């Protein structure tokens, strides 16, 4: 497996000039759509216009041996600083800055402006974004239901962070039969994501499309299905592309009158990577399946199976199984234990890693609620 801690692809400065017309167009559309500008309050003293500030700490301890993915025994894996506020009557802005476990690694995980009042039921985002590729790729570390990420993400989406790039996103509701939520998202990225895509020229932009369908099966249960596709230039050199196709499905059950104590979530995500290289195209695929059951108000138990080919050699396939127990002391903290057994398929033979991951997450400040 490719380690994501080494060999970060050199990043080029974003091709701002090429994107300017689109940005300008979005701004003009946003300005035109002004219907009812919110009344401005009298300029007050103090901090009322300061953004909501939150910090989420993610502490991870790992015991056991892993010859392939050797992370430290104890680490503050990530500290995420969130700054969120309304910009003006037309837009809001969200910044998530992450401070990683390796000293000095500070990054803008996401930083974007969202235009909420565009005509035609359109929502546009401009900035650095997590690509709308499936479910996991859009989630911040602290929102994930496991302490690590499944093999298809590390093997096929490049790293734990996946597709995370500067770009523009436009999403629109699609008319559908009553009660069905259908949303199409089109994104255009600069074309650089760690260990996955690299834009050698301004032409190497990365388009991404996502279609999300959701329906309530009953008051207590619902089903969400998504399809994603993206293509960018890969690290094999100019002209070599990787296409990624993904399908995700989530079933949720939560009896409303006992929703504090019982729930079930079953989710699967399948990823196909078609990576061009000097020797031909490698077709690699992988998936994970997760089931999480809520045992009591604060206790959750989960099981995950994940397996994935290597993006550069589809004859090698890693497999993993995890048992996960999560405890919520409150809404603002979370303790998770994950017993994980991964069997890595290496050219030199199989390597088995049995590990215990213990994660403690804690949040302070006003962190905006997450969407479903």
Binding residues vs other proteins (CB under 8 A):
18, 22, 29, 35-36, 38-39, 92, 114, 116-123, 170-175, 179, 181, 183-184, 186-188, 202-203, 205, 207, 209, 212, 214-216, 219, 222, 224, 231, 252, 254, 256-261, 297-298, 330-332, 364, 368-372
Distance between CA 198 and CA 10 in Å, rounded? 8
- Closer CB to other proteins, residue 67 or residue 364? 364
- Closer CB to other proteins, residue 7 or residue 18? 18
Distance between CA 195 and CA 235 in Å, rounded? 7
Burial of 141 by CB count in 10 Å (0-12 exposed, 13-18 middle, 19+ buried)? buried
- Closer CB to other proteins, residue 39 or residue 45? 39
Shortest distance (Å) from residue 93 CB to other proteins: 12
Distance between CA 289 and CA 272 in Å, rounded? 15
Shortest distance (Å) from residue 1 CB to other proteins: 30
For residue 91 the two structure tokens come to 């837009």
For residue 280 the two structure tokens come to 């031909």
Distance between CA 331 and CA 372 in Å, rounded? 16
Shortest distance (Å) from residue 98 CB to other proteins: 21
Distance between CA 171 and CA 221 in Å, rounded? 25
Shortest distance (Å) from residue 115 CB to other proteins: 11
- Closer CB to other proteins, residue 188 or residue 339? 188
- Closer CB to other proteins, residue 264 or residue 358? 264
Nearest to 244 by CA among 345, 149, 316, 136: 136
Shortest distance (Å) from residue 215 CB to other proteins: 7
* Residue 151 · residue 206 · CB < 8 Å: no
């Amino acid at each position: 497996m490719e380690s994501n801690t080494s060999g970060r692809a050199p990043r080029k400065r974003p091709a701002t000039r090429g994107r300017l017309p689109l940005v300008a167009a979005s701004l003009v559309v946003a300005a035109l759509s002004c219907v009812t500008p919110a009344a401005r309050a009298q300029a007050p003293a103090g901090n009322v216009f300061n953004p909501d500030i939150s910090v989420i700490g993610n502490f991870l301890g790992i015991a056991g041996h892993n010859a392939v993915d050797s992370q430290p025994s104890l680490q503050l894996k990530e500290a995420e600083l969130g700054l969120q506020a309304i910009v003006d009557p037309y837009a809001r802005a969200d910044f998530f800055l992450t401070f990683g476990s390796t000293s000095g690694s500070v990054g803008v995980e996401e930083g974007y402006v969202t235009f909420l009042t565009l005509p035609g039921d359109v929502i546009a985002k401009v900035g650095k974004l997590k690509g709308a590729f499936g479910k996991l790729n859009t989630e911040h570390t602290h929102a994930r239901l496991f302490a690590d990420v499944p093999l298809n993400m590390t093997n096929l989406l490049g790293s734990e962070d996946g597709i995370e790039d500067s770009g523009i996103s436009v999403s629109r509701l699609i008319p559908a039969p009553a009660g069905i939520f259908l949303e199409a998202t089109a994104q255009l990225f600069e074309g650089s994501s760690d260990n996955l895509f690299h834009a050698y020229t301004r032409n190497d932009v990365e388009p991404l499309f996502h279609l999300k369908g959701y329906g309530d099966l009953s008051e207590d249960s619902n089903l969400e299905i998504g399809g994603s596709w993206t293509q960018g230039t890969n690290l094999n050199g100019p002209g070599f592309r990787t296409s990624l196709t993904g399908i995700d499905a989530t079933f949720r059950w939560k009896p409303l009158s006992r929703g504090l104590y019982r729930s079930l979530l079953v989710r699967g995500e399948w990823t196909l990577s078609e990576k061009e290289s000097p020797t031909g195209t490698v077709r690699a695929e992988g998936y994970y399946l997760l089931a999480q059951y809520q045992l009591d108000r604060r206790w959750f138990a989960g099981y995950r199976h994940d397996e994935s080919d290597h993006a550069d050699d589809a004859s090698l396939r890693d497999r993993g199984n995890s048992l996960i127990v999560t405890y919520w002391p409150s809404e603002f903290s979370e303790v998770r234990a994950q017993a994980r057994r991964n069997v890595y398929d290496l050219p030199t033979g199989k390597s088995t890693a049995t590990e215990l991951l213990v994660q403690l997450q804690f949040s302070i400040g006003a962190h905006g609620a997450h969407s479903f």
